[in-house]
Amino acid sequence: MRIALLGYGKMGKVIEQIALQRGHEISAKIDVTNRTEMLTINRENTDVAIEFSSPESAYGNLKYCMEFGIPTVCGTTGWLQHKSEIERLCIENKAAFFYASNYSIGVNLFFELNKTLARLMNPYMSEYKVSSNEIHHTEKKDAPSGTAITLAEGIIEEMSGKDSWVNNQIANENEVPIWSSREGKVPGTHTIKYISDVDQIEITHIANSRQGFALGAVVAAEWLNGKEGVYSMTDLLGLR
């Protein structure tokens, strides 16, 4: 399979390594130093694009790919105000678009665990206060992380009385507070807490390296190749 890498930072390089190990070919490597080469990517030389760039670049990259019908796997966060437009372009141009805030298999199972716990805790929310904490490396440009937002949205989906989230501020009763920290070279740690006067329930996912994220992105590209439509890790893992 021929893969174009849109974004060639630390994550892009790990994705390249795993893709080559799995027998794929890299058709292009695009970053801020050679953005004009994006115009050379097409369906004749690329089967799937993997987009891990920056919030500033992601929208333009995705718009180009959808308009030219290039199947694309995206893991960049911080641009989601344009997500509905990208999905519309995907459908209009019979392309394929796969988005996940996190491509780790473990994290996506953690998403399901989070929703299950929220559903179980819902009858007891007069006694427990919920909060979310996330820690990432200092090079991460957006806060909260896309993973933290997905976790908060899972809680909102399952918990009556919660309809929004806030970041690094005291929350109102209807809000899920997310507390974001940027420390050292931490790949990613996410914790959900339910605290009452008498006890505390806590679930945590700790990423030990970028390898799990990169492998998941390559597996998603393999799965997406030849398809049309809008997909997520829920489809890939058969969790619908």
User: Are 52 and 140 in a shared domain?
Assistant: no
Number of independent structural domains in the chain: 2
Catalytic residue among 24, 136, 190, 205: 136
How many residues does the structure list for the chain?
240
Catalytic residue among 13, 29, 63, 140: 140
Whether 101 has a binding-site annotation, put simply, is yes
Verify whether residue 82 is a known catalytic residue: no
CATH number at residue 177: 3.30.360.10
User: Are 31 and 80 in a shared domain?
Assistant: yes
For residue 185, the model assigns a pLDDT of 85
**Residue 141: is its pLDDT beyond 80?**
no
User: Are 125 and 138 in a shared domain?
Assistant: yes
For residue 3, the model assigns a pLDDT of 98
pLDDT, mean of residues 87-112: 93
Q: Does residue 74 contact residue 221 with C-beta atoms inside 8 Å?
A: no
pLDDT tens digits for range 155-174 = 999 999 999 999 999 999 99
For residue 194, the model assigns a pLDDT of 98
Whether 100 has a binding-site annotation, put simply, is yes
Whether 172 has a binding-site annotation, put simply, is no
For residue 208, the model assigns a pLDDT of 87
Peptide bond into 144 cis (omega under 30): yes
User: Are 19 and 65 in a shared domain?
Assistant: yes
Please state, in angstroms and as integers, the Cα–Cα distance from residue 51 to each residue in 30, 38, 90, 154, 221, following that order: 10, 12, 15, 24, 11
User: Are 49 and 121 in a shared domain?
Assistant: no
**Residue 181: is its pLDDT beyond 80?**
yes
For residue 101, the model assigns a pLDDT of 83
Half-sphere exposure of 92 (CA within 13 A, CB side): 11
User: Are 215 and 97 in a shared domain?
Assistant: yes
User: Are 125 and 135 in a shared domain?
Assistant: yes
Q: For residue 240, which amino acid is it?
A: R
CATH number at residue 224: 3.40.50.720
First to last CA, the chain: 27
User: Are 120 and 189 in a shared domain?
Assistant: yes
Whether 76 has a binding-site annotation, put simply, is yes
The pLDDT-based confidence of 240 (bands split at 50, 70, 90) is low
**Residue 111: is its pLDDT beyond 70?**
yes
pLDDT tens digits for range 33-84 = 999 999 999 999 999 999 999 999 999 999 999 999 999 999 998 899 999 9
Nearest partner of 18 among 188, 211, 208, 187, judged by Cα: 211
What mean pLDDT value characterizes the chain? 94
pLDDT, mean of residues 117-144: 93
Per cent of the chain over pLDDT 90 is 81
**Residue 210: is its pLDDT beyond 90?**
no
User: Are 164 and 85 in a shared domain?
Assistant: no
Whether 147 has a binding-site annotation, put simply, is yes
Rounded Cα–Cα distance for residues 59 and 6 (Å): 11
User: Are 91 and 178 in a shared domain?
Assistant: no
Strands 129-136 and 96-99: unpaired
For residue 146, the model assigns a pLDDT of 86
Verify whether residue 10 is a known catalytic residue: no
pLDDT, mean of residues 99-111: 90
Full domain range(s) for residue 111? 105-206
